[in-house]
Structures are given as structure tokens and as C-alpha cells.
Structure 1
């Protein structure tokens, strides 16, 4: 994971060969292991490239990477499959070498269409004077653009900088395909034309889909002298996932427990579903494909070498390489159980559980910590554990911990209690988080952005058998369950749509949720988690997982005739039961902002979709 940036100027007066210090700080926090800059100048333009690397796999490869032909590559991604990357290889170097071998536009598109995993990139092709950039199909890595001086300069970056009163300066690059700019043409014409190569489905009959929404429609926030056009050759990238199965049943469904007039106990309901041979087979297929997705995400990183002797091993406490955003809900529990299959057994797994409390209280028997830690922005979790103990996600998190310990007693599960006071929330939102969440700007963005930022920071306390102790998670990789609710009808709005329009309406809602996940969630979450020099990984958005779930009819994924805690995300609940997680399989969906209680701290009368004044940048 990296912080990448490219600033382009078409005239000397509109170009600076230095990045703003606040932008540079944000990029360095994302990539603390290596920083480098490179300036490329031509008669008509200048490009300043800045790369900041979080080293996770293979040999540390500084960015930007320049090849013998003068091409420059910036990569913020992970190749999990599709393009061959050996265990000892660095995927930045593999992708750079592959791009150097590309001769045509089609070659470049073919390369990126093969990659399975999250990415954003910037690529300068010296021979054509073209700048290529884009984000993966789901937009799992952040990339922002900023055009100014009437299009005479622009900047691409993993993170932006916000100035008081000008919070709309930076906008997310749409995850609608790959863009190309001819820098010479832009300089001569005094306008910037963004050529878009969109994602499109290709059917088995080799029929290319027509886009319902024109992907070249120029976003309203772009200046008048910036436009988006389709490539002349109508080139595109094949979508990396199967299309959504919108099939409707030919007759009323007859399956276990679909008689809504007589619903047995929830646990009995799930067990009855699993007596059906077809259902059990589908659930096992889901477990298998999700397990492979988790495996790729927990093993694609460098680990410390094993100590040479048993004595050294016992004296050495291994550090966690993997952490999970953990509420104890079914999404995070299934991820934890599958991670346990693949993470080396002698390595702890950190479970990051965040709670927001209005005022600081000291629980009985919990020691205070030196206040000097506060200067390093460390949460003094021990000072008010008692207030956090009543937060819903803390309750379900501790219950989930016990279930995991019973399931895998040989594993060290580090349950990290991250307790945040109103004072600390307000201070760090103002200083850091509001800059990262932007250009997202709603009350919901504020709540989730802040909650995820504190959780990913991983500073809290471990409640061990001996005594609570302060703890900071060393894990560089954080698994998150985002994507489960969107695909498996986990939100209350799915139930509302189903009750109004039946399965057809539910299909459309699921398609809409997945289609907007890049702009609604993923760029924001990548910026927030990456600010700690950590990488977010999303197993539920693995291309094979999404393709498998898209192949199923909607009634095999959810049954919204059943009550909350059973019907939504039904296939995931059945998978949890099969994995031995019977208690957490029955927990109803609870939105993060309510589960961690951040939504209760400040203005409780706000709507989630309201523009949030707390995110506005103050002078």
C-alpha cells in the first residue's frame, strides 16, 4: 500500500516542483517505509511524481519506478491473482516490467483487466507523452484529482489537502475505467481531455453491454475546460466479475422455514435450512471461495523469520501481522474464523474493537496510565473502560471473542479495546480525520470515517488474565467486512425495498449498492485506514467471491420473509453455523455508527445523509 501523487503543469507559472507540506505529510503517513520524488520535464509540460511505500511483500521497491525508456510508474495496489507474482517478488516491479513491454493501448488495458486485487495507479508513457491513471472496478484504493488554474495544472493523489472554504477542490477519480491524458495536446489546446476506457461486460456470446449511464458524462465538479470522452477505437476493459443473476422464481418458493406464519426459533431455522442438500452445498461453496480470498489477503505480506531454536521461540512473543475490524457481528466473526485457518498458529490475530464514550470513567481495578502518552495521541483506554463496557459492539465483541477462543483455543486472540472520548474525537477529527474523509461530507461519512480511523489506529488496551495493559497493534494489514451487507441484503433499506417491490425490487437494490460502493465507501475507508501506514483488505469484495455471489439467485443469499438476525445475509449466517459460530450467526445487523455509539455522542437529531458541519475545514 502506498501514497502516490503526480502534479502536472502546462506552463512555468502554474507549476511548482515542490508539493505542499500538508499533502506530503499525508502521503508519507500512508507510505512510511520509502519516499522518493521524480521530475519529468518536456517542452510543453512538467510532471512531478511522488511515491511513498508501505512495504508488505517481496523486496522493498522505492517509487516512482522509472524504466530504461523513461516511463514512470506509481502503484498503490495488490496483485492477488491474474498476473503472476511469485512469493519472493514485489508486485510493483512486476507491474512496471509488464507495462514496459506494452506497445499499444490495448496491451495496457489487457494487463489491468487481468489483475485481481485492489489498485490505483499513475503511469507516464514517455514515447506517447500520455499519462494513464485509474482505480480498480470496485474503487478499493483511493485516487483523487484536482484541476485548477482553468485546467493549466492538475494533480492526482491518494489523499488531498483541504483549504478552509474550498473543500470541493479535490474529488474522487470515478472508478468507471482507466483514464488517459495526452499531455502535449492538453498543453497546445489549453484544455484537458480525459479519454476514458470504461469497464464493460462481455457476454458468452461475445456481446458487449451498453452502459445504462454514460460513463463519459463529465462530472459537474470539473472545470469547464476539462472534458471526458470515449476512446476513438471504443476500447474497454472487461469487467472482472460475473453479472448479477436477477432471475425470479417461476413458482412460489418451497423451502425450509419459508412459512412466515410459523417461524421457529432462529437457531432451529438455520439448522433446518442446512438439512437441505442443495443449500448445504451452496453454503460450502461460499465458505470455500471466501476462505481462498482470506488466505490470499493474510499470506501476501512479509513475516518475521522463525527463531532458530525452541528456547528463542519461547522467549520471543510473536507480533500480530493481521488485524480485523471487529464488532463480534457475523461478518467479522466469519473473517476471523477463516483467518485462523491460514495465519500461522503461533502468530496472534488482533481484533480491533472501538467504543465511543461521552465522559471518562475509571473502572474498578483498572490502572491509570501516565498522561505523557497523550502527547503521542494515544487513547488512555484504561481511564474509562467502564463506560465503554456498555457499548453494544463491546458486548458482542467480547461474546465473539469467547466463541473464537472456544473454536480455536491454541490461537492467541488479542481483543483490543479501543475507547475514545468525546474530547479526543473532536480534537483528532479537526486535526486529521476531516481532511481524510473529504470529499465525502455527510453525517454518515463523519461517523464511519471517525470510527474506522480510531479502530485502525489500534491503540487501546488488552484485558488479559493478569491485568489490563496498554497495547498498540503492530499489524500492517487490516481485514474489513465491507461488501457483505451490500451483496447479501444486510441493510434495513433492502427489507423496505423487498416489502414494497418483492424480489425484483431487492435485485435492483443489491445491484445499486454494489454499483455505488466505490464512491460511497471504499475511497474514504482506504484514506482513513491508510493514514496509519496500514492497508485495508476486503475479502468480501474479492472478484471470485463477488462473481460467486452474483451467480446465485437472490433468494439463496437472503430471505427477507424471515425476521432480522436470520433473513438478512442468510447465506453468511449459514456459513457461520457450518464454521461452528452458532451464537454470532444469529446477531441482527447493527450499523457501525450505532454499535460503537459514535452516533450518540454529538447531534442525535441529524440524518445520515445531511451534510456534516463537523467535517468542514476551519480557518
Structure 2
């Protein structure tokens, strides 16, 4: 993974990038940093490229990567399939070689379409005086843009910075509806910036007709976007969503009191067993690709006894539990796995303390420093996700007792939250700005940092996760009807409405979640990996009728994400297989940190700087 940056100027005046942005980019790529300036003489343009590399595969390959023909590639991605990459090879060099061999726009699109895995890229095709850029189908890697009309300069970057000062140009996320090309010669001659758009074919809810609303709404002021004249498209890496509506009466007739018995009864169906087994297979392979594509240094020198290469954002819920179980399959048994569990200090737990008859001074002890085992039950960090996380840890230890599971309790006080929000997180979440973005952005940032305590022999000690790879469960709820809004839509509009809601989820996941999470996790020099958004996993789930994935006539803890719950039971999981969905902002209790009545969609004033 990398922090990538390009400043394209149509004027001869040299301009440097924002120093704050540069610092954010450098934290994303701590292993190597380099700048490169390329000038076009006739016509006149200038590209300042800057790259900051997080070494993840093969030999360390400097970026910007310039080949013998003068082409320049900035690559922020991982190839997990589609294009062969040998263990000693680096993605950047492989992609550069593939793109350099392309003789037409159609061949460039074919190359990009074939890549399986997350990516964001910027590519100067020198002979054609063209600049290409864009994000993968799901938008799993961040890319932002803005245009300065006074300087006639376009900036592309993995991460930006927010400012309280008024600015004519604003940062926006590059829509993940395709890739873009700028004819630098035409731009320099006309003095205007025009983007040709090459859309993904069959994009749910973003069918491109001339120019999609998603592109038009976010094109920087002073720029224009048009459909490429040849009508070329990228090939979708996933199959279309199955929109078949269940016949009346086909719902699962299970009305028991025990959720576990509900699942066991459904598993008795041969078809259900086959479907859950198939989901396990494709998801297991997705996890394998992501936990075995690790930095070259790890193949040469094994980590210390308690130092893991892979971590899981871990709440003890079904999504993270399954990722942990499958990671256990593919990571050597002697290597630890870090389970990152974040909790925000409860501010006013007076009623709870009175009911448990604990003295007030005990409540206010610095439990996040070094609490004893006996004090855990009264800790102000005993939030719901901490409790389910500990229970999940117990299940994992029973399933794989020989594995060292580092359950990292990451405890955050309000003071530290406020400090790091202003110093770092507000810039990383930007340009998103809602209360929900604040809550999720802060929670994920502290979790990914991995600084907390672990318990050994009933004693706690400070611990900092060394894992560069962080598995996250995002994508499961979006595809398997895990959110409460899915039940609401089902009640009001039936299966047809539910299918429409699910179709919309993946279409907007890049702008709602993935760019933000990539920026937040990448700030620690770590890489987010999303097994539930693996192309093969999404294709398999897209191929199934909705009723095979979720049956919202069944109770909470069973009906939503039904197929995943059945898979969890197949994997040997117990109570975690029937835990209802709990959003991270509520499970970690960050939503309780601020004494305000806010809606998730409200603009968050706490994200403002200055």
C-alpha cells in the first residue's frame, strides 16, 4: 500500500504540494518516499508526482515508478488474482510492465479489468501525453481530487487535510464508477481540464449514460467530465445481482424460541449445508490471499513470540469471528493473531455503579493503564463490544487452543479522543463530515493503532500490535441484509424493496465507507484488507436469491445474515453465530462520549479544525 499524490499544473509556474498532506501521506508509506517532476514541453504542462511506500510484497520497489519509455506509475493496491505475481515480484513493477505493453485505451482497460484486489492508481502515459487515474470497482482504496482555478492545477491524492480557512477549491472523493483520462496536450492548449470517463459495465445504480450523477456531482469546480467518445467500458469483476423474488410461502417455517435451534434446524436441510459450505470455501480463499500476501521481510525473519503479522478488527460479532476462524486456517500455528478490540470510557456510569455497589473512587481509577483481573467487571471500559469480544476470544481458544490469540484491549478516554480527533482523525475523515463519519472514523483509527493491553496469567501488560495487515468485516452487512434499515425496508416494501436496498449498498459503499476507512487505517502504516469484498465472494453472494442470504421473517440473530450464521455454525462457532448486529459506534460506546442529541447524518462540528 502507498500514499500517492499528483499535482498537475497547466502553467509553467512550479508549485509544491501542501505540507500537511505530505505528512499524512508519509505516515501511510513509512518505508520509502520520493518525488518526481515531469514536464511537457510542447504543449506546456507539469506533473509533480509523490509516493510514500508501505512495503507489502516482493522486493521493495520505489515509487513513483518510471519505466524506460518515461511512463510514470503511482500504484496503491494489491493484486490477489487476475494477473500472476510471483512471490519475489512487486505489484507495482508488474502493473507498470502490463500497462507499458498496452497499445490502446481498450488494452489499458482490459488490464485494469483483469486485476482482482483493491487499487487506486495514477498513470502518466508519456507517449500519448495522457494522465490516467481511478479506483477499483468497490473503491477499496482512497483517491481524492480538487482543482485550483487560479493556478489551473488539479491535485490527486490518497489523503488530504481539512482547514477552517475558506478555499475556492474543495476536496472530494474520486467516484469509483470507472477510470478517468486527461488528454494533457488538449488541456494545455485549451487551458481547461476535461476528464474522459471509462465506466465499469453493469454498475448497480450507477448506469453511465453520458455522465452519471455520481461523477457530475463531484467533478471539481472548473473541470468537466464526458463519456469517452468510443464508448469503452471496464468489465465488471463481479456477476450481476440476482433480483429474483421468492414465491409466496417459501420462507423458512422456523418458529422456535432458541436462535441456536433455529440454525440447527435450517442446517438439517441439505441445500442449506451446501450453500453454507460454498460460502465458507470462497471466503476462506479470500482470507488466504490476504493473510499470505505479506511483506517480504516476514518470509526471511520470523516475528517475536507475541508479535503478529495479521490483526482483525474484532468485536466478537459474527463477521469478525468468522474472519478470525478462517485466518487461523491459513496462518502458521506458531504465529499469533491480534484481535483489536476498542472501547471508549463510559462517562457517567453512576446508575450502574450504584446497582453493583462499587465505590465511586474505584470507578474513576485509571483502568486503561494496568487494571487487575478482578477489576474488569467494574471497568468503565466494559462496553458491549468488550464483553462480546471476550466471549468470542473464549470460543476461538476452544476451537484453536494451540494458537496465541492476542486480545488487545484498546481503551480510549475522552481527553485522548478529543486530542487525536483534532490532530489526526479530522484530516483523515475529510472530506466526509457527518456525526457517523466522526464516530466510525475515530473508532477505527484507535482500533487500527493497536495500542492497549493484553492479559497473560491474569496479569495485564501494555501491548502494541505490530501487524501491518488488518482484516475488517465491512461488506458482510451490506450484502447479507445485516442492518436494521434492511428490516425496515423489508417491512414496508417486501422482497422487491429489500433487493433494491441491497443493490444500492454496494453501489455506495465506496463513498460511504471504504475511502474513509482506507485513509484512517493507512495512517498507521498498516493496510486494510476486506475479505467480504473479494470479487469471488461478492459474485457468489450476488448469484444467490435473496432468501438464501437472509430471511427477515425470522427473528433478529437468525434472519439477517442467515447464510453467514449457518456458515458460522458449520465452522463450530457457538453463541457468536446468533448475536444480533450491533453497530461499532454503539458497541464501542463512542456514540455516548459526546453529551449531545445528534443524528448520524448531521454535520459534525467536532471535525472542524481551528
Instruction: State TM-score, norm by structure 2.
Output: 0.93
Of 489, 506, 519, the residue aligned with 1:514 is: 506
**Is the 1:320–1:475 Cα contact (8 Å) retained in structure 2?**
yes
Q: CA deviation at 1:607?
A: 0.3
1:177-192 matched pairs, under 5 angstroms = 177-192=178-193
**Is the 1:151–1:190 Cα contact (8 Å) retained in structure 2?**
no
Q: CA deviation at 1:380?
A: 4.4
Could you say which residue in structure 1 is the equivalent of 2:120?
120
1:434-473 matched pairs, under 5 angstroms = 434-473=426-465
Q: CA deviation at 1:88?
A: 1.7
Could you say which residue in structure 2 is the equivalent of 1:290?
283
Of 257, 261, 275, the residue aligned with 1:264 is: 257
SS of 1:516 mapped into structure 2: helix
Could you say which residue in structure 2 is the equivalent of 1:84?
84
SS of 2:418 mapped into structure 1: helix
1:420-471 residue CA offsets vs partner (Å, 9 max, x unmatched): 0000000100111000001111000000000000000000000111521100
Of 29, 32, 45, the residue aligned with 2:30 is: 32
Q: Take 2:146 and 2:298, find their aligned partners in 1: how far apart are those partners?
A: 43
Could you say which residue in structure 1 is the equivalent of 2:355?
none
1:118-197 matched pairs, under 5 angstroms = 118-150=118-150, 152-166=152-166, 169-197=170-198
Of 240, 244, 253, the residue aligned with 1:243 is: 240
SS of 2:200 mapped into structure 1: strand
1:21-60 matched pairs, under 5 angstroms = 21-43=19-41, 44-60=44-60
Number of aligned residue pairs: 593
Could you say which residue in structure 1 is the equivalent of 2:345?
357
Q: CA 1:127/1:212 → structure 2, altered by over 3 Å: closer, same or farther? A: closer
SS of 2:216 mapped into structure 1: coil
Could you say which residue in structure 1 is the equivalent of 2:202?
201
Confirm whether residue 397 of structure 1 aligns to residue 397 of structure 2: no
Q: CA deviation at 1:219?
A: 3.1
Q: CA 1:235/1:327 → structure 2, altered by over 3 Å: closer, same or farther? A: same
Q: Take 1:367 and 1:445, find their aligned partners in 2: how far apart are those partners?
A: 30
Greater shift, 216-225 or 137-146, is seen at: 216-225
Q: CA RMSD in A?
A: 2.5
Q: Take 2:215 and 2:329, find their aligned partners in 1: how far apart are those partners?
A: 46
1:354-393 matched pairs, under 5 angstroms = 354-358=342-346, 380=369, 386-393=378-385
**Is the 2:145–2:220 Cα contact (8 Å) retained in structure 1?**
no
Q: CA deviation at 1:566?
A: 1.0
Q: CA 1:245/1:166 → structure 2, altered by over 3 Å: closer, same or farther? A: farther
Of 551, 567, 585, the residue aligned with 1:593 is: 585
Q: CA 1:63/1:235 → structure 2, altered by over 3 Å: closer, same or farther? A: same
Of 286, 293, 300, the residue aligned with 2:293 is: 300
Q: Take 1:307 and 1:241, find their aligned partners in 2: how far apart are those partners?
A: 36
Greater shift, 3-12 or 450-459, is seen at: 3-12
**Is the 1:202–1:238 Cα contact (8 Å) retained in structure 2?**
no
Q: CA deviation at 1:571?
A: 0.6
Q: Take 1:326 and 1:591, find their aligned partners in 2: how far apart are those partners?
A: 12
Of 466, 471, 480, the residue aligned with 2:472 is: 480
Q: CA 1:523/1:169 → structure 2, altered by over 3 Å: closer, same or farther? A: same
Confirm whether residue 348 of structure 1 aligns to residue 341 of structure 2: no
SS of 1:399 mapped into structure 2: helix
Q: CA deviation at 1:149?
A: 2.2
Q: Take 1:474 and 1:500, find their aligned partners in 2: how far apart are those partners?
A: 47
Q: CA 1:557/1:39 → structure 2, altered by over 3 Å: closer, same or farther? A: same
Could you say which residue in structure 1 is the equivalent of 2:352?
none
**Is the 1:150–1:225 Cα contact (8 Å) retained in structure 2?**
no
SS of 1:181 mapped into structure 2: strand
Q: Take 1:246 and 1:267, find their aligned partners in 2: how far apart are those partners?
A: 29
Could you say which residue in structure 1 is the equivalent of 2:412?
420
Q: CA deviation at 1:201?
A: 3.0
Q: CA 1:409/1:391 → structure 2, altered by over 3 Å: closer, same or farther? A: same
Q: Take 1:306 and 1:81, find their aligned partners in 2: how far apart are those partners?
A: 20
Confirm whether residue 5 of structure 1 aligns to residue 5 of structure 2: yes
**Is the 2:370–2:460 Cα contact (8 Å) retained in structure 1?**
no
Q: CA 1:453/1:5 → structure 2, altered by over 3 Å: closer, same or farther? A: same
Q: Take 1:202 and 1:497, find their aligned partners in 2: how far apart are those partners?
A: 22
Q: CA 1:554/1:305 → structure 2, altered by over 3 Å: closer, same or farther? A: closer
Unpaired stretches in structure 2, ≥5 consecutive residues = 350-359
Q: CA deviation at 1:319?
A: 2.0
**Is the 1:322–1:478 Cα contact (8 Å) retained in structure 2?**
yes
1:150-200 residue CA offsets vs partner (Å, 9 max, x unmatched): 571011000012221448711100001000001121111121110000001
Q: CA deviation at 1:216?
A: 6.7
Q: Take 1:479 and 1:410, find their aligned partners in 2: how far apart are those partners?
A: 21
Could you say which residue in structure 2 is the equivalent of 1:324?
312
Q: CA 1:482/1:388 → structure 2, altered by over 3 Å: closer, same or farther? A: farther
Q: CA deviation at 1:91?
A: 0.8
Q: CA deviation at 1:339?
A: 0.3
Greater shift, 159-168 or 96-105, is seen at: 159-168
Greater shift, 422-431 or 145-154, is seen at: 145-154
**Is the 1:217–1:228 Cα contact (8 Å) retained in structure 2?**
no
Q: CA 1:382/1:119 → structure 2, altered by over 3 Å: closer, same or farther? A: farther
**Is the 1:440–1:524 Cα contact (8 Å) retained in structure 2?**
yes
Q: CA deviation at 1:256?
A: 4.6
Q: CA deviation at 1:238?
A: 1.0
Q: Take 1:367 and 1:603, find their aligned partners in 2: how far apart are those partners?
A: 22
**Is the 1:355–1:388 Cα contact (8 Å) retained in structure 2?**
no
